Amino acid sequence: MGDFENAVAEYGARAKAKLSGPGEREALLSGPVSEFITAVGALSSKEVVAHDEVRELDGTVRPDFGVRVNGLLVGHIELKAPGVSLDPTTYAPNSHNGKQWKKLELLPNLLHTNGIEWRLWRFGELVDEPVHMHTPDLTKTKGTLTAPSRLELILSAFLGWTPTPISSLTKLVDTLAPLAAMLREEVAAALRAERRAVKAGADRDSQPFIGLAKDWKMMLFPHSTDGQFADRYAQTVVFALVLAISDGTDIATQSLHEVSKQLEGHHHTLMGRALNLLTEHIANSPAGLAVEMITRALGAVDWAKVSAGSSDIYLHLYEHFLGKYDPALRKKSGSYYTPVEVVDGMVRLTDLALSEFFNKPDGLRSPTVSVVDPAMGTGTYPLSVLRRIGDSAAALYGDGATADAVTSAINRLYGIELQSGPFSVAELRVAGAVEKFGAQVPSQGMNLFVADTLEDPDEGSDTRLSYTLQLIAQQRRRANDMKRKTNVQVVIGNPPYMERAGGRGGWIESGIDTNTGVAPLDAFRTEGNGRNEFPLSNLYIYFWRWATWKVFESTAKAADEGDTGIVCFITATGYLTGPGFKGMREYLRRKASHGWIINLTPEGKKPPAKSAVFNIETPVCIGIFARTPDTDEDVPADIRYIEFDGLREAKFENLEALTFDDQRWRSARTGWQTTFTPAAAGNWDSFPALFDLMPWATTGVTPNRNWVIGPSKASLELRLRTLLSENDPQVRDAMFKVTRDRRIDKRSKALPGADVETDTTPLSSVPLIAKPKLVQTMFRSFDRQWVLADNRLMDMARPPLWESRVPGQVFVVEQHSIHPGAGPGLHFSALMPDINAFNNRGGRTLPRLHPNGSPNVTPGLDAALKKEIGPSASAADIVFYIAAITGHPAFVEQFADELSTPGIRIPITAEPSLWDTAVQLGKHVVWLTTYGAEGERAEAVDDTAPEELPQYMKSVGPTRPESYEFHSDEGVLTLGSGRWENVTPEVFGYTVGNVAVVQSWLKYRMAKPTGKVSSPLDELHDPNWAPEWSIELTELLRVLTNLVAMEGDLDQLLGDVLAGPLVSMKQLVAAGMRTGLDADDRKPKCTPYTVGMFAETNES
């Protein structure tokens, strides 16, 4: 018998003896497997040590052994009990094994075994076919255990692992990102375990990671969570090692302490000291083994080859790294890097503004101009500023002036970055640029800081830290010194975007400005607008407020012209028009003397890929606001607007050529709180807004849980059963999607209505709901779907909407905060609308009737209409008139430019005959859009002949189809095996808010339906095709066919109305309609209503 065969036989004997005794079967394998691996290593003169210390802190998701060969860490072993599957595809995502595999697949060298089967994995990829020993059960092996010879090859490959040589950027990122993610998870797990240990009585001061997290908070980020610390720990260690490699340090042969010292010697003071602090006391811990594995892997990097051929290797490295390391973090933190063409354009325009409006002919080169990028990222803006300064100096004086100009500028250039990974990249890039320009780095170092821009500038003076910690904490103190004292003329950059970021705004959101006695963000609020101001809780808005405070306020009394300067940001466009930003717009109009808006995404959300400036859905614009000396805050700023559409390259070219005297600039509106969009060229502004005519408006039903709404009743019932049957509290909470407003263990008041769930018992105590209550809603335009009618499941169900489901109700749905997009201006439904009903991008609902059945019209409207139009005009018909005017694509086409300032306005005819025609046509529009539930069929409308309507010719079948296809030349829509004929291209392509209605309807009902996934329940779908869907699709196609057929009549009507006399808002008010309604006037009326509908006596 050979040596390997002997090792297998001895392993079999030990394993049989162990497994025949008492104890946990997986743990019983630990000794035999460890001894077996050691013996196999000895066969090739390898000294193998298996460290089971990896299990000390938290064995729930970790491998069981870290394995060293001749003193070097080579990999990990994960044990499973005999009989347990090693196939990850068999693990449920939220099971113990499923969660564990998400960590194990990050490892570069993993041996996986249940004692009989053996698998070798590298970064989640199987290296060879699994190998099985020759026994079905180790406890029943008769005679000597044997194994295929291939097992020796697999074990030898595991023990012989060496880092793969890395000579390309792609390979570096592919290696680095999963290892960094592994380190982050180890640190997070260590913190959880240590906090449990302290809770159980362990000494807090003896817990290394709790101590490190505490020191990190005291030094740099006082409000960071354990999760944020774990992320910053991983990024700091990884990028400190990358810095060392790029400097030529041999990290494979030196201790981390020695590497740290060499980093400091190469002017990477912060990263060097941080690396030493974070790794000094973690040897042999799981995190320490992860750091050791990262060091080994990076030791194989050939930096010369990796960086060859790349003009900016550091930038590309971090961008690609973050995309692989944590795509969710990238999206959540808004970390999308700005194209250099945009950055250079912003810097150039800022330079021009300084010279043209501030009497600073040298612009950014002026020795009195300090510049801050408050969200520096990888340093693209500071680099552009230095390039602009160097180039302008060379153009004016000669190449020799570049070094002097950059040397001067680097002392006045500041950057702040929250994450140490991009900070290290920024430091490398800026230092490299300074060296390239022949300039000198200041003796105290560059003014680039790892710090929190939004932190209180008066914090950061703690002197209880040790000398080493004090040196690191200098970053935070120097950043806060700049915030308090430095007279900054320019803040420029691309701040992060994060919705619902309440609690993350630091001092700006919840601190106190000693000059005002309130939180700085309060300057962006306005009285009476609180219900609309939730969008202010966005990171980019916090940065806007910080920037305006820094430039316009922070040094107003401390320096000559200390309240003057420029803020230049590229951010989301929401603040241009959104109702929640009225206070922000008034602040900017008062504080600034000039403003320029450059809309780079007039196409709206989800622009065509070739038109998008960033690879994101959110529309963006550049906003430049300047406050010159002697600005009068009682005179609105002169704000100009321009937009660039077309391909991305064309936008870049337009930006590069733009100047402040360009004739394409258009003056924006001048009202203190009005939108930052151009004033209408015609009489649009004289039309009453929809909100002027219908005072009660509300957001649609807002579950904030996708799984509670859908087209399939069976799917909804399945999801609810699955939730209620889950016994693991953590899994159940993840399924439920716990939020601030709803928890599974809390009661909620029942919704109004006889068709809703009335039980208010916390769902955590409910084992089963035999017959869930389901109510049909308007999920999207023309798309009727079901919702679980249970207030315990919805964050904001909007009870008044549920109560307003009364006879005669029509819900008018408006996209009021952005351009409505191609299609009708409004949508009309007899069903309660979802929050995103119009086009999946928010909006609001204006019901025709209040919950008590009274009309939702402005007091005095009925009398005003009769006075201005004639006795046939009635407020009772206002919704039908509006439907005829706005419920077709020509309305949006006619007012496309005006609608860049969001909000529908209604041109009201003064001609009685046109009013009557519009009401008649509008009733027909409502009859169609509500599938016959409201409105009425108009005799004057020529409907499509029955034989020309879409026909359902062939059954779809029992299961949901995989795909659909439209044959435009034949007018045929196929859906799986189903077939519809007489479908025109106009019907198939009919849009509301740029969303193709038919295609959207189909995608929610396919075998793999569309929709965001924020809970495991979102992925539970009944696979069957509901028979009623075929009828609903036929109804949808026929409704759209008839709406398309009406478009000619509706187009003609709109043209006739606009060509004739109109009733303006001023005329309605003069005729008796009330104006200046307050919040109480706009509340829903829920008390019983007894007087006749729309009677004049109800309007006072």
pLDDT at 1098: 31
pLDDT at 1088: 57
Quote the distance between the C-alpha of residue 319 and its chain's center: 17
Confidence check: pLDDT of 1085 > 90 = yes
User: Which is it for strands 774-780 and 709-710: parallel, antiparallel or unpaired?
Assistant: unpaired
Ordered DSSP codes for 1037-1062: HHHHHHHHHHHHHHHHHHHHHHHS-E
Question: What percent of the chain clears pLDDT 90, i.e. is strictly above it?
Answer: 68
pLDDT at 1092: 41
Ordered DSSP codes for 506-518: HHHHHS--TTTSS
Summary mean pLDDT of the chain: 90
Quote the distance between the C-alpha of residue 320 and its chain's center: 18
Residue 53 pLDDT level (bands cut at 50, 70, 90): very low
| 346 phi/psi in degrees, rounded to 5 | -65, -40
Max CA separation in the chain (angstroms): 110
Confidence check: pLDDT of 470 > 80 = no
Mean pLDDT calculated for residue range 47-75: 72
Confidence check: pLDDT of 1082 > 80 = yes
Tokens at 128, concatenated? 């060879």
Mean pLDDT calculated for residue range 314-321: 81
pLDDT at 321: 85
Q: Give the CA count within 13 Å in the CB-facing half-sphere of 273.
A: 17
Under a CB-based contact definition with an 8 Å cutoff, are residues 34 and 50 in contact? Answer: yes
pLDDT (tens digit, 9 = 90+) per residue, 62-72?
A: 567 889 999 88
pLDDT (tens digit, 9 = 90+) per residue, 911-943?
A: 999 999 999 999 999 999 999 999 999 887 777
Nearest in space to 8 (alpha carbons), one of 39, 47, 31? 39
Instruction: Give residues with Cβ within 8 angstroms of 443, minimum separation 6.
Output: none
pLDDT (tens digit, 9 = 90+) per residue, 1030-1051?
A: 999 999 999 999 999 999 999 9
Residue 642 pLDDT level (bands cut at 50, 70, 90): very high
pLDDT (tens digit, 9 = 90+) per residue, 337-375?
A: 789 999 999 999 999 999 999 999 999 999 999 999 999
pLDDT at 329: 59
Mean pLDDT calculated for residue range 73-96: 88
pLDDT (tens digit, 9 = 90+) per residue, 447-457?
A: 999 889 999 99
CA distance 827 to 782: 9
Residue 215 pLDDT level (bands cut at 50, 70, 90): confident
Beta strands in 734-854 (DSSP E): 774-780, 783-788, 811-814, 826-829, 844-847
CA distance 878 to 909: 12
CA distance 347 to 352: 9
Count CB neighbours of 61 within 10 A. Answer: 16
Nearest in space to 771 (alpha carbons), one of 850, 713, 819? 713
What is the DSSP secondary structure assignment for residue 874, as one 8-state letter? -
pLDDT at 460: 62
pLDDT at 15: 94
pLDDT at 309: 59
CA distance 982 to 988: 11
Mean pLDDT calculated for residue range 546-569: 91
CA distance 829 to 843: 14
Confidence check: pLDDT of 799 > 80 = yes
pLDDT at 161: 93
pLDDT at 1089: 44
Ordered DSSP codes for 276-307: HHHHTT-TTSHHHHHHHHHHHHHTTB-HHHHH
Confidence check: pLDDT of 1093 > 60 = no
Sign of CA dihedral 356, 361, 367, 371: positive
Confidence check: pLDDT of 334 > 80 = no
Q: What angle do CA 796, 831, 812 make, to 5 degrees?
A: 85
Beta strands in 794-907 (DSSP E): 811-814, 826-829, 844-847
pLDDT at 468: 59
Residue 322 pLDDT level (bands cut at 50, 70, 90): confident
pLDDT at 745: 92
Mean pLDDT calculated for residue range 719-742: 92
pLDDT at 856: 97
Specify the range with the lowest mean pLDDT, choosing from 219-233, 278-292, 348-362, 602-616. 602-616
Mean pLDDT calculated for residue range 982-997: 96
pLDDT at 327: 72
Nearest in space to 582 (alpha carbons), one of 528, 637, 518? 528
3-state secondary structure 618-670: CCEEEEEEEECCCCCCCCCCEEEEEECCCCHHHHHHHHHHCCCCCCCCEEECC
Cα dist from 786 to 199, 712, 716, whole Å: 46, 7, 8
Mean pLDDT calculated for residue range 752-772: 93
Residue 156 pLDDT level (bands cut at 50, 70, 90): very high
CA distance 249 to 760: 65
Residue 993 pLDDT level (bands cut at 50, 70, 90): very high
The three-state secondary structure class of 443 is coil
Question: What percent of the chain clears pLDDT 70, i.e. is strictly above it?
Answer: 95
Confidence check: pLDDT of 895 > 90 = yes
Mean pLDDT calculated for residue range 998-1002: 98
827 against 64, higher pLDDT: 827
pLDDT at 331: 57
Judge residue 1047's burial from the number of C-beta atoms within 10 Å of its C-beta, 0-12 exposed, 13-18 middle, 19 or more buried. Answer: middle
pTM: 0.75
576 against 100, higher pLDDT: 576
Q: Give the CA count within 13 Å in the CB-facing half-sphere of 973.
A: 23
Residue 628 pLDDT level (bands cut at 50, 70, 90): very high
Residue 464 pLDDT level (bands cut at 50, 70, 90): low
Strand partners, 75: 67
CA distance 599 to 608: 15
Residue 269 pLDDT level (bands cut at 50, 70, 90): confident
Residue 1099 pLDDT level (bands cut at 50, 70, 90): very low
